[in-house]
Structure 1
Amino acid sequence: CPWLIFYSITVRIGHSLNEAEKNHVTSRRESVLECLKRHEIHCSLVKMPNIALVASGGSERAMLGLLGSLLALFQDDLLDCVLYLAGLSGSTWCMVSLYKEPNWSSKLEKVKEDIQNKLGGNISFKEKCKKLKRYYREKDNFSLTDFWAVLYITMIVKEIDEQTFSDLRSKQSTKDPYPIYTVIDKQSHEDKLDADTFVEITPHETGYSIPGAFVDTSSFGSQFDQGAQIKDQPEMDMMFLQGELKQHISWSSVYFVDIVIRGVRKASLISYFLMLIRRKGPIMFCNHSLNIGNRIWENIAKCIELVVCWVWGTTYNFLHNMTAAEVSPSVCGETIRQYVDAGIAINSPFLPLLRRERHIDLIVSLDFSENDPFESLTETAKMCKRLHIDFPEVPKMSKEEKSAPKDFYVFEGHNAPAVIHIPLFNIVNCDDKGNPNMNAHKCPYSSDLIEELLEKAGLNIKNNKRSLLTEIKKIIQRKQSHICSFC
């Protein structure tokens, strides 16, 4: 198309890391090396292990669990050993708060206090409606994710965060671990396209981790054709990111529509709308509602339509009409895609860290799951086997082990990164009582419960400091042996 010459090609197809990530990681590795030396672990940059910390989903429990774990790592002078920090779903709520603060990893106790103070606040319904109206007015692809972000996420994080990744790039410090947020392509997941399922969002690029197809994060959501950006959309802000990263995709989540309804308290009109939706269908219902003259009811009408059609995470497809050898043609053929909570597929963000170009040697897995604390591991192992990606084998765990796990597991495999797995609730920090039933969906938590969660998560790190350092030493010894074998 001749008109494409007016636009620069912004989609990148390839497996290499973008230059900004390379530069960040190169600088961060110096901090890791110094941290190891403080623990009397001496090695060169060549033999130094690349360590990634991955945090599972679990709503507010995951948010606070990650915060408590990071705080303990900071207090034990282990946080600077971490090169990458990856999260999905609820754990990313913590990450979003952290990375707003430049050089947060050197002042985590203060950042923790700021987050706790924020959690004690509140967002007025008027503020939420104002933000919702802005999303509705400015975006082509308005979906349930916008509602979810504004009406539910704000109940937990107590903040409407309008900063974008472009805003945060200037604050990003190479003294902090490099962040990776994870979502999934909903259609690819439903079509069982494993390679095209996991999508990573970093401060610099967003894209499909395994096949290698990326776009600048500031342009993620804009409209593309044949690799060229043809229409701008508002850059994704942190509020929307948190909504996209956490959705309970079940009919129980329809309760957040009731939040809107109770907020405006006009039950008779609600009954009238519900009668209309049964008679006219969602689209005609929404069109009819526009004649009422009240903008809030237009939003409510759109909300109910989206619930009926169950439309989440709608975003322009940056791969539209492209040919990418390792990406399924069905992905490239669509104008829009739906990007949703990655916990729907696997509740821990291992896949982005398994890109070979990131050269990860050790993954510390923090699991905040509500039920089986090993499910994310076993599902990752199965997917990696299908995709021919090296990952340790995970033995089948007994029912007893799942209900009362230990606080520290190590899984190893040939050519695969070692994985340390730490369930949040275990027989050590819960005194043989197991999970104290901190339900992920009973949010927001009280101040007492927040403190308890922070303490439980921190104990898992403090109780295993020596074991963590032992595993790091083993990685260095293996790298040394591998290098010597080629001498």
Structure 2
Amino acid sequence: MGSNSSSNQGQICIPGQNPRQREVTSVNLLHVKVLRMRNVRKADLLTQSDCYVSLWLPTASAQRFRTKTVKNCSNPVWNETFCYRIDSRVKNILELKVCDEDRFSKDDELCVIFFDVAKLQAGQKVCMKFLLNPQEQEELEVEFTLQNVLDYPENIITNGVLVSREVSCLEVNGQEKKRKQQSTKEELTLTVKGSHEGTQNISLDADSSLRNSIVFHCVKYIQTKLDITVPKKMRYCGQISTKEESLPLNSLPLQKKITIGKGKRFDLHVKAKEWPKDLDVRLGFDLCTEEQEFLCKRKKYVAAALKKVLQLEEDLQEHEVPVVAITTTGGGTRSLAAMYGSLLGIQKLNLLDTVSYITGLSGTTWTMANLYEDANWSHNYLEEAINKARKQVSKCKIHGFSMDRLKYYYNELKERCQQGHNTTFVDLWGLMVEYMLHDEKDYHKLSCQRQALSEGQNPLPIYTAINLKNTYSAQDFKEWLEFTPYEVGFWKYGAFIRSEDFGSEFFMGRLIKKLPESRICYLEGIWSSIFSWDVMYFWNVAFDSEDFWHRWTRDHVKEIEEDPVLYTKLHETETRMLTPAGPLATAFRDVLTGRPTIAECPNFLRGFQMHNEYLENEQFSTWKDTVLDTLSNQLTETAEHPLSLADTGFFINTSYPPLLIPQRKVDIILHLNYSGCSQTLPLDLIARYSSKQGIPFPRIELSEEDRCNLKECYLFEDAECPRAPIVLFFPLVNDTFQKYKAPGVERSPTEMEEGKVDVSSPCSPYSTRELSFTEENFDKLVKMTDYNILNNENLIVEALRIAVERRKQQVPIYYKGAFNK
């Protein structure tokens, strides 16, 4: 939808900086002339392909264009031209899809070419030959012309990775004209491709005193149209003889009412208007203001605790206070119980106040959510919380399937649907988790945990999940998503929303539909969703390899040659060709990656486009680890669909990533491992992942003897890389606890039985599948993890001392806040 104002000043806004004027050359007209193709491959063995080319440039048009079909020809000629208005500040990737038209089945996709429009120079005409298969001399010939437009560009907001563009609001009012016969009360189906709403129905009721109205939100400067589908009863009556009518929106004037259907049985009034709403998604790679203020308050607790533990003579200066964090692994009820014991041991050593962050996944999120219901939990003796947990863990879970409970589940899910939330089986699982951990309905919400952080009195909790993409395994595509009481967001994109807005609907960074905040039990269902597995997960556990997946089921993407060769800048992508997997491979892939159920939540990235130089952004590149990350259309296409969230354990059973963000400057990580299989595998995987991504992390060196007979604690430090955190690794092992009931206190012969805690054998009572423990087994596990912390006090204190010395050697960095107030 165009603008009727000539004073529209094109600006680019970067969060944290003042808007600056952009030059007018960022707006261009792109003419794409599809010329011909040579030696087209056959889609089948019997005939030549009935070939056509489909064009898709989602940053400029919501419509897919296509050439005519040339029948039964290996060298088709089209000479058809298509035009786009583009903004060079966004990543414009033109997709040219070569297809074989089939009359009685779905058209075959022969290949897809991804061409970065940024390679073109304004004012030049370039005839490109894409060499699809040099051996068979298969090539596609396309002519590109890029022209400057003497117009001011639109205002955009960007963080260097995502781009938010101007949005228009399209109001549509409709009413059937009064007739002698009874009103039909029919509905028109209206569609605006690329809008947030997509397709809506509008009721036509001549008897209504108020006209029915609907609203579409769409990108202001993008080619799209309003499609109107007329119901059958209204066709062939009066002057209506077509099924559909269309109204182009790219040239629709603002604030002017347009009437469609004059002289027909209905009036449809359309008016476009500006929607200059501020962003509700925070774009940026800094810690949010609330977290920065929390850290300033927390440092006072940390500094006081360190002075006491390290027996320092002088107070620590602000820049000398290290950031200590706890990371955990999942493991269902086992990890819930074990984490209570670990935290109890840390509390007994007076070290809880030295910790600034606690991250969790799967079962440890249950422990964290329970603790943070108490706004002062770390300063209250944890025995009371452990007693409550023992009662819940040991109770019979079969009552969770009683008729009364099933009725409760039904009513809760029904109410959730009425609120507007999309419900899945994961929501039911969340209600079952609620029953396992509470006797009554839990009204607690994530944002409520801010009370436990108001004075910096407790560490900041961070919960993790991964966003997946259908038809891809977790190893092949995943994005870390973190939840704090302040925000939910992706560090990969630098996009965050308030925690109370998670589950609401967004478009282009604006809040479109506010839904009530979910109770935390529904989030616990997401964080610990054991139902999101796929066959590939078990394949990777068994073979630790994706070669089979990549070789036989994945779409093949490769760089192809161009003639002429265009100059490529660092931020521009090479031209690639995707060859879809065959029908058999696609079906096999669906079997391998199909998940019984997955949590689906509205995607708050919806509508955003990628910045032209996003691949060169250091923040994005740190977390870029899949082939899709270099295909911007696939990333923005993902944003069109709901977030598909799963337990982080389906990729790496650890909650490290939030602590590896450089903005958090974490110095020490206490890795509390509660996994049920290999104790070292989560640590090895995150070390391997960090190395691949260029994230500072200490080298993990364990001898074969240690791997076979793990001790209670290991310290890993990289003295040559001060940016790498110190890692204290606590595997879930029963070592000296068998002979000692407390550090230095041996067991008597009658107490030896208490030291027998089986945490590793196949017959262990602490299996991940076990949802209930006996009180005796619960206490044994808590006491063992408590002991393992206490017995390694010296290593923890040594790590703290090293971290303080490191900080003292660094240049002071002063933060906004009131550390010394």
* TM-score, shorter chain, exceeding 0.5: yes
CA contact (8 A) 1:56 1:366 kept: yes
CA contact (8 A) 1:404 1:434 kept: no
Question: In the alignment, which of 688, 691, 694 is matched to residue 385 of structure 1?
Answer: 691
Question: In the alignment, which of 101, 116, 122 is matched to residue 374 of structure 2?
Answer: 101
Q: Are residues 1:405 and 2:717 paired? A: no
SS at the partner of 1:70?
A: helix
Partner of 2:168: 2
Partner of 2:459: 177
- When you count helix as a share of all residues, which structure comes out higher? 1
Partner of 2:801: 473
Deviation at 1:251, TM superposition (A): 7.5
The 10-residue stretch of structure 1 (142-151 or 121-130) with the greater mean CA deviation from structure 2? 121-130
Distance 2:599 2:532 in 1: 15
Q: Are residues 1:89 and 2:394 paired? A: no
SS at the partner of 1:470?
A: helix
**In the superposition, relative to structure 1, how do residues 164 and 8 fare at CA in structure 2: closer, same or farther (>3 Å)?**
farther
Q: Are residues 1:165 and 2:471 paired? A: no
Q: Are residues 1:362 and 2:362 paired? A: no
CA contact (8 A) 2:503 2:517 kept: yes
SS at the partner of 1:96?
A: helix
The 10-residue stretch of structure 1 (381-390 or 119-128) with the greater mean CA deviation from structure 2? 119-128
Deviation at 1:60, TM superposition (A): 0.8
What is the identity, as a one-letter code, of the residue corresponding to 1:219? D
Question: In the alignment, which of 32, 35, 52 is matched to residue 305 of structure 2?
Answer: 35
Partner of 2:729: 421
SS at the partner of 1:52?
A: strand
What number of residue pairs does the alignment pair up?
A: 428
SS at the partner of 1:71?
A: helix
What is the identity, as a one-letter code, of the residue corresponding to 1:199? L
Q: Are residues 1:457 and 2:785 paired? A: yes
- When you count strand as a share of all residues, which structure comes out higher? 2
- 5 Å-filtered alignment, 1:19-58, equals 19-39=289-309, 40-41=311-312, 43-58=316-331
SS at the partner of 2:320?
A: coil
- 5 Å-filtered alignment, 1:117-266, equals 117-119=391-393, 125=405, 126-151=407-432, 154-155=435-436, 160-173=441-454, 174-187=456-469, 190=473, 192=475, 197-249=479-531
The 10-residue stretch of structure 1 (440-449 or 363-372) with the greater mean CA deviation from structure 2? 440-449
CA contact (8 A) 2:330 2:674 kept: yes
Distance 1:331 1:459 in 2: 47
Per-residue CA deviations over 1:46-74 (Å, capped at 9, x if unaligned) read 11211001111111111111111111111
What is the identity, as a one-letter code, of the residue corresponding to 1:2? S
What is the identity, as a one-letter code, of the residue corresponding to 1:138? Q
Distance 2:513 2:445 in 1: 18
| Structure number with bigger Rg | 2
The 10-residue stretch of structure 1 (425-434 or 70-79) with the greater mean CA deviation from structure 2? 425-434
Q: Are residues 1:332 and 2:605 paired? A: no
Per-residue CA deviations over 1:334-384 (Å, capped at 9, x if unaligned) read 231211111111111111111111000110100000011111111111211
What is the identity, as a one-letter code, of the residue corresponding to 1:443? L
**In the superposition, relative to structure 1, how do residues 322 and 251 fare at CA in structure 2: closer, same or farther (>3 Å)?**
closer
Percent identity between the aligned chains? Answer: 26
Q: Are residues 1:60 and 2:343 paired? A: no
For structure 1, the residue ranges without an aligned partner over 5 or more in a row are 253-307
SS at the partner of 1:368?
A: coil
What's the Cα RMSD here? 2.7
**TM-score for both structures, normalised by structure 2:** 0.49
**In the superposition, relative to structure 1, how do residues 360 and 171 fare at CA in structure 2: closer, same or farther (>3 Å)?**
closer
Distance 1:238 1:397 in 2: 42
Distance 2:728 2:422 in 1: 40
For structure 2, the residue ranges without an aligned partner over 5 or more in a row are 1-166, 170-216, 218-274, 535-593, 615-619, 740-755, 813-821
Deviation at 1:396, TM superposition (A): 5.9
Deviation at 1:190, TM superposition (A): 2.9
CA contact (8 A) 2:532 2:597 kept: no
Deviation at 1:139, TM superposition (A): 3.9
Deviation at 1:433, TM superposition (A): 7.7
SS at the partner of 1:131?
A: helix
CA contact (8 A) 2:409 2:428 kept: no
Question: In the alignment, which of 751, 759, 764 is matched to residue 435 of structure 1?
Answer: 759
CA contact (8 A) 1:60 1:156 kept: no
Question: In the alignment, which of 346, 351, 373 is matched to residue 73 of structure 1?
Answer: 346
Of the two structures, which has the highest relative contact order with CA contacts closer than 8 Å and spacing of 6 or more? 1
Distance 1:383 1:84 in 2: 21
CA contact (8 A) 1:209 1:351 kept: no
CA contact (8 A) 1:118 1:159 kept: no
SS at the partner of 1:477?
A: helix
